[in-house]
Chains A and B, each alone.
Chain A
Amino acid sequence: MREITYRQAINEALHEEMARDDSVFILGESICHEQWDTHAGLVQRFGRERIRDTAISETAIVGAAVGAALAGYRPIADIMFSDFLFCAADETLNQAATHRFSNGGKTRVPMVIKTAMGGYGSGGPMHSQCPEGFLWHRPGLKIALPSTPYDAKGLLKSAIRDNNPVVYLFHKMLLDNTGRVPEDEYLVPLGKADVKRQGSDLTVVATSYMVTMALEVAEQLEAHGLSVEVVDVRCLEPLDLGTILASVDKTGRAVIVDEDVSRCGVTAEIALRIMEGGSRPLLSPIRRVAAPDLPIPAGHLERWVLPAPQDIADAIGGAMGIKEPILVKGASAEPGFTVG
């Protein structure tokens, strides 16, 4: 099978869905030549009516997407950095998320908010954040956060076809990663987790870029006799708790890894759901790896805040009752993405 990049996978999904359905269009700021280069060829093929550059106004981008969705279209609201989505908090959290509910289930809001998440680029607190904790807190949104090119394409296609507001979070550090993607059309359904690595001693439940990091760590721990299973949640809403519980029931141990800050975050929520839903006593307490409760610093101190491979290895070692730290290497924690 051919290999393409995560960036190309996103681009292919957009091309295919826009060709398939005339009601799909994209609006956002500077999207004809999009910052992350996921829009190659779109404006040439579909024109500026459907690839609509806007003023720098996240409020209008997301709000207009909600309105167009209500009136029968399938807009994709493009938000350059997920940090900027908070400028459209009312439109995202109040309007998009609750519209159908507040109107007795009589409306549909089929739209996608496509935005770049994550740190490891030393970009500072307003160009590095992970918004999934905030977003997951709000009932009414669906949230997809792919870790591989295959998932990036399949999930985006499903998100565009979904009849609800879906926040599609792609990670800046993953854009150049390559992976197998079939030439034939396929979808990855929203709400299906994926076991990315089989193991028997412990389950790592991870999101987005942290899946890549966890896999890197798991490979190294294999040499130390540890068999680590890695579950990629792929979507937080709907959450495929069944796949997570099945894995933890098998291994008896869990480490949850998410790049967002830990407080009230994804790691806390998944950990509690495992404790509430598991069918056997755990062999050790659940551990989590997430950013400490700090803004993301710009420059060199970023690496002291964002999760690193050694943090994951330490959490796994701790859960396994291993006293001595197992040292691991990890290219994934090196500053990676650049912009502009």
Chain B
Amino acid sequence: MAGGDSVNPAGKGAGKAAATTAMDGPTTEQLVTLYTNMVRVRKLDEFMVSAYFSGKLAGPFFHSQQGQEAIGVGACTFLRSDDYIWYTHRGHGVCEVIAKGLPMRSFVAEHFGKATGSSNGIGFINTCAPELGIFGMGGTVGGESTLAAGVGLAAKFRGKQQVVLCFLGDGAMGEGSVHTALLMSANWKLPVVWICSNNGMGMWVPVSVAYPKENVADLAFGYDIPARIEDGQDVATVHAAVQVAVERARSGRGPSFIEFKTCRYGPQVEGLGDYSLDGLRDPAEIERWKQRDPIKLCAQRLLEEKALAPDDLERIEREALAEIEEAEEFANESPLPDPSLLSTALYAD
């Protein structure tokens, strides 16, 4: 399961998809940036989990994304600022929005329910930063997918080669809205890259229980969308695969679908047990995935290539922790939103 093979999902018929791809990995400099971002979001995710348990969050949950960092970071770090992203509840988009350029303080303050948060303190899971192409997320699984198609249509109208990345979990593939959005994107050749993080579990239901197929990319391929399956643990692979799809979208050739195989280390949501371990997934399997932890894999490569020294790894972690500390202080000191926001937020003038 943890293999890094690129597979043509629909078997022999998928030759068309493979033929369009020529993947170049990131430069060493880019890989260092990707590594740094993965450390930043891992540490921030760990902080969010501890903040949840210490009662600091303004909302009732946090859905840790630990183990899946390579996907959001690899996909979003080198996008244009005017490209759009739609993230999911996993990590509340921590990997995607931070890699897209959102300051940590906006993310933390929003989760603390403060007026300085990215959605002025009433969005919680909604990170809203239109200047970065981020319009929040919503709350229904897959519910953003048709909106992503619509943003893709707007991008196509505008003609400035903007792209839309829409992140999904494997669990979203059960939603009709996702399929109808895929269909629309294919039919109108919209510049949308569908990125499915397949961690094998929709809440506590394994893919093998929910779907007749192990590979959800097969479903997209049915809509004539080039679909690939890639290793979601290797940030260099993610970066390269997404770049190919992004270039395809920018040049007006339409959507792509990439399924990244990955693992959710934790439970569906913090505070509840990991019921998936109750006979649905083998704890040893998670341990095997952790051997291919995205941060560990990337660090090994950077050390082997002597792009970074052990001191550098320590420094990167230290800087990430300092950034989080600053974000926490900022959030702590920020005011609560004024109730007047309730009357101004609903309707625009």
Contacts and interface: CB of A to CB of B under 8 A. Distances in A.
A31 to B, nearest CB: 15
A51 B345 CA distance: 31
Contacts, number: 150
A108 interface: yes
A69 interface: yes
Which of the listed residues B123, B136, B148, B158 has the most CB atoms from chain A within 10 Å of its own CB? B136
Interface size range on A against B = 35 or more
B201 interface: no
B121 interface: yes
A106 interface: yes
A91 B177 contact: yes
A49 B188 CA distance: 10
Given A55-B180, A57-B183, A71-B84, A103 B119 contact: yes
Which of the listed residues A55, A72, A91, A101 has the most CB atoms from chain B within 10 Å of its own CB? A101
B126 A59 contact: no
Contact of A106 (B128, B153, B347): B128
B149 A63 contact: yes
Nearest to B162: A71
B119 A102 contact: yes
A303 interface: no
B180 A70 contact: no
A206 B158 CA distance: 43
B22 interface: no
Interface string A296-332: 0000000000000000000000000000000000000
B184 A73 contact: no
A101 B344 CA distance: 8
Contacts of B346: 100-101, 105, 139-140
A308 B180 CA distance: 41
Nearest to B139: A94
B272 interface: no
A99 to B, nearest CB: 7
A192 to B, nearest CB: 16
Nearest to B188: A52
A261 B184 CA distance: 35
A109 B135 CA distance: 11
A67 B151 contact: yes
A94 B140 contact: yes
B120 to A, nearest CB: 3
Given A66-B146, A94-B140, A105 B345 contact: yes
B135 A102 contact: no
A199 to B, nearest CB: 33
B122 A67 contact: no
Contacts of B184: 54-55, 57, 60, 64
A212 B157 CA distance: 41
Interface string B166-191: 00000000001100110110010000
B284 to A, nearest CB: 38
B277 to A, nearest CB: 32
B119 A104 contact: yes
Interface string B103-135: 000000000000001111111001010100001
A156 interface: no
B119 A66 contact: no
B202 interface: no
A95 interface: yes
B349 to A, nearest CB: 7
Interface in A265-290: none
B107 to A, nearest CB: 14
Contacts of B140: 90, 94
A65 interface: yes
Contacts of A105: 120, 341, 344-346, 348
Shortest 3 CB-CB contacts between residues of A and residues of B: A63-B146, A67-B150, A104-B120
Interface of A: 25, 49, 54-55, 57, 59-60, 62-73, 75, 90-91, 94-95, 99-110, 139-140, 142, 163-164
29 contacts: A49-B157, A59-B180, A60-B177, A63-B149, A63-B180, A64-B149, A67-B149, A67-B151, A68-B154, A70-B147, A70-B154, A71-B84, A72-B154, A73-B153, A73-B157, A75-B150, A95-B144, A102-B119, A102-B123, A103-B128, A104-B117, A104-B122, A104-B126, A104-B128, A104-B341, A105-B344, A107-B136, A139-B346, A140-B346
Given A60-B149, A71-B151, 15 more contacts: A54-B184, A57-B184, A64-B147, A64-B149, A64-B184, A67-B148, A91-B147, A94-B139, A100-B347, A100-B348, A102-B119, A104-B126, A104-B337, A142-B347, A164-B348
